Structure 1
């Protein structure tokens, strides 16, 4: 599969939604699922992950809750037909969708929904899944599945099915974005930028980290967004090491404040931006400026390096070299895919390649986040930066104009 439908201009941020964008995106995404099924000689895929369900059908229903409680699921066939098992009294979420679909009532067999009847219900559920597969793909006993609890897996295998890794298939299907997807992603990014602007405007000494973080949530919901996957905002000494979630700590003038949005915004697309500021807008210290310059260099060096046709391994080998003093606290990857949430691939640092790297090739249409965290082991502060980009035929293009602190450089 290629990203041939992806825009190859440097004005990708300014692509405008048309009346048919949403419909075109639905058609494109379903066609990607169909194509990956055909590539794997598989007739159907059973999806429980709410993000995968949304990708394939554009239906959304209590995403966080159904992510923890497997209460709605779909089966997509390689010919484009869809069977949807929907949660109680929620068939309306499928209204006005131009899909070839059939709706059924979901069978819940978790302990929460079935109690001590779980095994009996799982057996009935498994029999129905096999029956649906056999009726629409006679003689097919291979089924791709993205996510399934052990009891469900056991009953499908008991009924003669061979299960394939559907999550890997969906990650590959979601890899290259269409022009329409970039339009929808841009709408999410604009909402995220409004949240960042609000945080910057409200940032002042004496407020808590949580006070500040609430501004991003507010703007996300206000503009039709959905949820934020993490609480990664830290100040002062809590900026080192990274991955400390926001707290009731009171912000102090002159210290660093860093955050990572991880925001699932309008249209269900993720906006993943990291920036670092000083509290009170003070002039940074020499150490703060030095940390920032290193993080800025890492992000922009690696953005300039990225291009279609490059292998993941080559990118990792040629990526900006992290100075030894900051290596221990490096971010978990050099870059990662982004779509509706964090997606394939995750590019390991060269130092981590043997233990955690895997190869592949960058394609036009991939959207990625280029990462940096710079903070010395045992240090008292650190800088987190991240830029969301799209790969076009001619290279890497930023999807956000959210300012860096270039006057610190």
Structure 2
């Protein structure tokens, strides 16, 4: 008798693991020229937003925005909550990276970086009772650069900043402009070179999922299974995982629990969301659900899975350039009443170097005042979470490129055969 579960595992191994050696990391085939073109495109997109919003420049603290603008990365997870490095992109002027002390060498070879300076940290854990003095010195340096290159324009966009720093910049006469909109709008439209980099991140993510699929046997814990995704991402040049959302059996419902040391039993549903920041800083945000041991699904599991597939397929088919978010909402899949209390909050969201704008809620949660439309070159994730009272959750998500002809899936890891 044919072991169908083994057939599925072998097929995934053959399709997604390194053909040079199934137990070896993947090596990127993306030419350096593609990376250079993506870097130039991204900085150009950001500079165009500076001009469009009539600002003297943009001050970036978010490490994902710094990576987007200059492809500079340094302790990114740590600097997400420790504002010890930043970048100033001046409209018509230089792009200056203010780097953590003794780290200027990390910007070597980055053509978008015109100058590297030492960052002035005014965080309490580093500055103590000197925080206000350091913030004033930081602001004076930024203001002097804006005055030198801004042509009298004192409007400065900022993506995120500690209150002490913002107060000091305002005291220098600079006018704050919300910079998150500028950065998100710049990041929203991807170039073909960016898509090539993102495809590689997804390739690495799917290799990890193939290993997770193979390891999904009774006796493994949720954390052990989740660690496989970390391992494949790290050894293949990736960065980090944004979340720890992998659960099994009764822990799949309610959703958003993090992985635990729970031992998974045969036939239980395993559901997860990768949220993986992979090679080149791009995100692979896909979700899958399958049974432990790859046993045939029970009727309730199969019913929920079929509904999730229906939701993904229906909503993906709607997406095209020019479709407004309100039009999408009106035509989107209607979640049955029995599933509504267990629903996911978002139907579609943007993705690039992490989750990005837009964020289009599920139909019951949509605000009619939320404006915007899909555009060619966007990459978005189409989501589904289906559960009912007393059942396990099915979590599915696919990552798509919006093209002139509609939606093109970037991930290929197969759905389960129901």
Normalised by the length of structure 1, the TM-score is: 0.94
1:100, distance to aligned residue in structure 2 (A): 5.3
1:135, distance to aligned residue in structure 2 (A): 1.1
Superposed, 1:185-204 pairs within 5 Å as 185-204=198-217
1:317, distance to aligned residue in structure 2 (A): 1.1
For residues 89 and 38 of structure 2, the distance between their equivalents in structure 1, rounded to whole angstroms, comes to: 17
For residues 381 and 286 of structure 1, the distance between their equivalents in structure 2, rounded to whole angstroms, comes to: 12
2:406 corresponds to 1:392: no
Residues 100/341 of structure 1: CA separation in 2 closer, same or farther (3 Å cut): closer
For residues 60 and 100 of structure 1, the distance between their equivalents in structure 2, rounded to whole angstroms, comes to: 12
User: Which residue of 2 is the match for residue 373 of structure 1?
Assistant: 385
Q: Per-residue CA shift, 1:146-166, capped at 9, x if unaligned? A: 000111111111111110010
Give the conservation status (yes or no) of the 8 Å contact 1:107–1:121.
yes
User: Which residue of 2 is the match for residue 43 of structure 1?
Assistant: 56
User: Which residue of 2 is the match for residue 220 of structure 1?
Assistant: 233
Structure 1 portions without partners, runs of 5+:
1-14
User: Which residue of 1 is the match for residue 68 of structure 2?
Assistant: 55
Give the conservation status (yes or no) of the 8 Å contact 2:91–2:150.
no
- Which segments of structure 1 move beyond 3 Å, counting only runs of 4 or more? 15-19
- Which of 277, 280, 284 in structure 2 is aligned with 1:264? 277
Give the conservation status (yes or no) of the 8 Å contact 1:295–1:385.
yes
Residues 19/64 of structure 1: CA separation in 2 closer, same or farther (3 Å cut): closer
Secondary structure of the structure 1 residue equivalent to 2:342: coil
Q: Per-residue CA shift, 1:55-113, capped at 9, x if unaligned? A: 00011101001111001111102226201111011011110122351111100100011
Superposed, 1:117-266 pairs within 5 Å as 117-266=130-279
Q: Per-residue CA shift, 1:120-146, capped at 9, x if unaligned? A: 111111111111111111422110000
Alignment RMSD: 1.3
Secondary structure of the structure 1 residue equivalent to 2:105: helix
Give the conservation status (yes or no) of the 8 Å contact 1:31–1:80.
no
Q: Per-residue CA shift, 1:9-58, capped at 9, x if unaligned? A: xxxxxx97344101111110000001111110112000000000010001
For residues 322 and 51 of structure 1, the distance between their equivalents in structure 2, rounded to whole angstroms, comes to: 34
Secondary structure of the structure 2 residue equivalent to 1:20: helix
Give the conservation status (yes or no) of the 8 Å contact 1:16–1:183.
no
- Which of 107, 120, 137 in structure 2 is aligned with 1:94? 107
2:371 corresponds to 1:359: yes
Give the conservation status (yes or no) of the 8 Å contact 2:107–2:113.
no
For residues 408 and 38 of structure 2, the distance between their equivalents in structure 1, rounded to whole angstroms, comes to: 21
Greater shift after overlay, 122-131 or 256-265? 122-131
How many equivalent residue pairs?
391
For residues 286 and 222 of structure 1, the distance between their equivalents in structure 2, rounded to whole angstroms, comes to: 39
Secondary structure of the structure 2 residue equivalent to 1:258: strand
User: Which residue of 2 is the match for residue 287 of structure 1?
Assistant: 300
Secondary structure of the structure 2 residue equivalent to 1:163: strand
User: Which residue of 2 is the match for residue 382 of structure 1?
Assistant: 393
For residues 309 and 251 of structure 1, the distance between their equivalents in structure 2, rounded to whole angstroms, comes to: 45
